[in-house]
Structure 1
Amino acid sequence: MNYQHNLKINKYYQLGIFTLFILSPILSLVFIIDGMRKNMRYAYSMFALFISLVAFMLAPTSDLASHNYLYYEYQNLSWNTFVNYRMVGSDYVMQYIEWIFANCGIPFEFIRLLQTLIAFFLLNSIFFYKINNSSLCYSSAEVFGRYLCYILVFPFILMVGGVRFGFGVVIMLYGFHQYIDREKRIIGIILLIFASLVHFSLLYYSLFSFIILHLDIRRNQALVLALIMFILSIPLQATMEEYLLQNELRGAGYLGDGIWGRQVGMSLKINAIVYHWGQRVFLLPLLFLLFCKYNHHDKWSRLGLSYILFFTCIYSAFALAQRTTVCFMTCSIFLVLSIENSIREKIAISTRRVIIICSVLICCFDIWTHREQILLSRYWRLAQPSVITLTQEYDKSWLLQHAYERR
């Protein structure tokens, strides 16, 4: 009887949240968070929908503006012209999607709305799989606390603003989830290949992580390997760059002195450098946790190790260092849950407090760094009904006024 009564209340609660979301997304957020705190899975799904609407409203500057300009160029462009003259590179998934949306008359903003919605449903799927299949029992507060830390650390603006790489990282991690946790090898490999078609650099990340995943590297061996790779990082980058150039493969510009290599880091202002390295400093508690609790039998620990080793190799190449950090931050909560499951105990309260503080500081760094883009975004529209919010568009005149340099 109580079960039926609670089920009925839960249905009313779900209907109430959805109705309020339609009327005013920002007002519904209070009830969504309350539902998440009570471990209502529907509330987590609604949060994914809310965060997708936040992505929808993000002002297109930087890489996002470049893709928006491409969207306008693709309008009324025939398929043959697009394929033969406009499509470049091997990471053509987003190019196809942008062409389809442009020629179907669907506003560009809906690409990032759907992209973010898919990304968070995949991330939530991994998160709750690890919660449900853990050897530990988590309370509602503990589940919410871990998820909250993850949202604070998650590189949201980089994922949405970068269009391809952040979304590709989510696909890649979901592929590793299928391969490691669900033991669906073929599906996992297909997803890893698909991720590399979203952004070509993920081919290198996937291959490197895949190799490390199948090596039984113990803690002391990992330290020695990291030290060797750190010392040899510049020669390794030069060798890799030469190989890519000789074989006419993409990626050389990210390793050498090109615009995406060290010159980007050298041209940044001091506050951007502080952000770049400061944000990584606040990841040290997680690195310390991985070092202390590292279990060479745990494949998620090996996956986290692969990103650390990759970072020691390319730390001087600004773009790759930033992207490797994005990979590590995106898998951070899965790494923590996997560590807890492998040692069969929850991390100490004092460690959790430090991680929470660092998560807040990382989020503050992120908001401050992207403050101009955030201020340009029309987030006041989130107080309006969702139907009205979804009608807003950053048109070409807005782009020419605010992001002309990305044309």
Structure 2
Amino acid sequence: MKEYTLNLNYLFLCGLFIVFPTFSLPFILVEIYNKKRYAFILLAIYMGLCAIYYPPISDLYRHNSDYYHYTKLSFHDLKGELRFDFILYLISYIFAHCNINFEFIRFLFTTLSYILYFNIFLFFAKEDIGIWSNKKYYMLCFSVFFFHIPFFYVCNGMRYGFAVTLLAYGFYLYHFKHRNTSFLFLFLACITHFSVTPIVIVLFLYKFVRIKRIPIIIISIIILILGKYILGVVIISIPFITEDLRDYMMGYLLGTWNGEFLEYGSFLNKLAFYLMFYSIYPLALILILYNKLAEYKLINLLILLLCIVSPFAVIFERSSIAIIPIFLMCMMDVIKMSQKYKLLYVLLACFSITFFSNIYRERVKFAYSDISQMLYKPLPLLLFHEYDLYWMQENINSTGELKYYQ
């Protein structure tokens, strides 16, 4: 009888999700509370649907424009345009020539990201009997993992957000599951976005490096003071990079994307930018104070890496977003060993602020989007939504910003 009831719940929820995805959310959360794995998949699909309705602005505008550009290219021409981190461009080319909407790539990237993060959550929840046996701590832990997922980085930036997902899952497989498939995920992360490569190198090398805390602190202070100049000299002196790549990297170090873009906009927008990744600070502080972790060398090296890039706003932001999932997994070890489950409240507060700061920064984009259709359209129609070339020409200028909000 119990099995029959479970099957009935499963069929009812899946049917409701197909007809009215948004109205099925409370029931999905109930089934997550009941620890039903299929509910996590439904929630991941729902977040993928939300990604479909994110309007093609900023980075997403450029990726969308590339998609339309690829419709005119042969594969031979495409090979001449590909670079080291080619995954998104190759998928866009395939989808463009198969006449599959670009939005579906966002759906796949986002849905897969949530499924991978939920797998990590379930591993840590099951490993800690104090969390798995206590529904309150179980839902707290789920909320922490849900709010820490960089949704907007996956559905807007796409390349970097998905690379961070692959990096996090690769680290989870490498460090906690000890599986060789971790190398595949870490390699895929690098060829999705090259900027996660330094973190991947740290993940491989930290076990072979002898580290003492005091020298790390001294080096970190020196780098905090002189980091911008040191990195600038290093980049200028690298003999094998092209002039275009050197200019591109220096733009992040000394140009607009070093923080000049923060000179424009309101105080709340600037505050929201820093709150998007501020959770790295309490995470780092707790991990530094708790020195019994097997990962202490990794944590020290990653903090050193953050110090190196700290003078550069965007690079620090991106590095923080990539390191936060790694620090969160280390924090789950701290909670398990110390049995201090109240730390989950601290993590939830940090990641909630981060999540809602992202929503605040993206509020205008959603105001001009078609996301209201999520309230009444069934799943099949939501999947085929498209911001076509005409919509982009009518609403987006040549720099990828909204024409009505500049």
User: Same-fold call, TM > 0.5?
Assistant: yes
Q: Which runs of 5+ in 1 are unaligned?
A: none
**Cα distance per residue 1:142-164 (max 9 Å; x no partner):** 22211212222332112210010
Question: What's 2:282 paired with?
Answer: 285
Report the equivalent of 1:396: 389
What is the CA distance between 1:25 and its match in structure 2? 0.5
Decide whether aligned partners of structure 1 residues 73 and 273 sit closer, same or farther in structure 2, where only a CA change above 3 A counts. same
Could you report, residue by residue, the CA deviation over 1:218-272 in whole angstroms, capped at 9, with x for unpaired residues?
6555544433432342233123322446533666235532343354455665444
> Residue type matched to 1:196 in 2?
C
Name the count of aligned residue pairs. Answer: 395
Counterpart of 1:295 (choices 292, 307, 323) is 292
Give the Å deviation of 1:177.
Answer: 1.7
Deviates more, 1:221-230 or 1:95-104: 221-230
Distance of 1:230 and 1:135 partners within structure 2 = 41
Q: Partners in 2 of 1:131 and 1:339 — Cα distance?
A: 13
Q: CA deviation at 1:332?
A: 4.7
Kindly indicate whether the alpha-carbon contact (under 8 Å) linking 2:101 and 2:384 is maintained by their aligned counterparts in 1.
no
Q: 1:281 to 1:103 in 2, by over 3 A?
A: closer
Q: Tell me the amino acid that sits aligned with residue 183 of structure 1.
A: H
Indicate the residue corresponding to 2:119 in structure 1.
125
Other structure's SS at 2:177 match: coil
TM-score by length of 2: 0.88
Distance 2:213 2:143 in 1: 29
Which has the larger displacement, 248-257 or 171-180? 248-257
Q: CA deviation at 1:201?
A: 1.1
1:52–1:113: 8 Å Cα contact kept in structure 2?
yes
Give percent identity, aligned residues only.
22
Matched, 1:81 2:73: no
Tell me which amino acid in the other structure corresponds to 1:101: F
User: Secondary structure in 1 aligned to 2:339?
Assistant: coil
Please tell me the residue identity of whatever aligns with 2:283: L
Residue 188 of structure 1 aligns with which residue? Answer: 182
Structure 2 CA distance for partners of 1:106 and 1:130, relative to 1, 3 Å? same
**1:28-107 pair list within 5 angstroms:** 28-84=24-80, 87-107=81-101
Secondary structure at the residue paired with 2:398?
helix
Matched residue of 1:150: which SS? helix
CA distance in 2, matches of 1:119, 1:32: 18
Instruction: Provide structure 2 residue ranges, at least 5 long, that are not aligned to the other structure.
Output: 401-406
CA distance in 1, matches of 2:71, 2:158: 19
The one-letter code matched in structure 2 to 1:404 is: N
| Residue of structure 2 equivalent to 1:197 | 191
Residue matched to 1:329: 324
In structure 2, do the counterparts of structure 1 residues 22 and 276 end up closer, same or farther at CA, with 3 Å as the change threshold? Answer: same
Name which of structure 1's ranges 310-319 and 147-156 shifts more when overlaid on structure 2.
147-156
- Asked if 1:207 is matched to 2:201, the reply is yes
Matched with 1:233 is: 227
The CA distance in 1 between the partners of 2:61 and 2:68, in whole Å, is 11
Write out per-residue CA displacement over residues 15-34 of structure 1, whole angstroms, 9 at most, x where no aligned residue.
11111110101001110011
Query: Aligned to 2:250, which of 249, 253, 264?
Result: 253
Distance in 2 separating the partners of 1:50 and 1:213: 39
CA contact (8 A) 1:152 1:363 kept: yes
Query: Over aligned residue pairs, what C-alpha RMSD do you find?
Result: 2.5
Secondary structure in structure 2 of the residue aligned to 1:184: coil
Query: Aligned runs of 1:337-348 on 2, under 5 Å?
Result: 337-341=332-336, 344-348=337-341
- Give yes or no for contact 1:254–1:319 (8 Å, CA) kept in 2: no
Question: Secondary structure in 1 aligned to 2:305?
Answer: helix
User: Deviations for 1:278-332, whole angstroms, at most 9, x for unmatched residues?
Assistant: 44445433233212223341x3x55444443222111121221110121133335
Q: Provide the TM-score with structure 1 as the length reference.
A: 0.88
Aligned to 2:347: 355
Q: Secondary structure at the residue paired with 1:201?
A: helix
1:373 pairs with one of 350, 358, 365: 365
Flag the 1:340–1:173 CA change in 2: closer, same or farther, 3 A. same
Partner of 1:276: 273
Work out the CA distance in 2 between the residues paired with 1:193 and 1:147.
Answer: 28
Q: What's the CA shift for 1:60?
A: 1.2
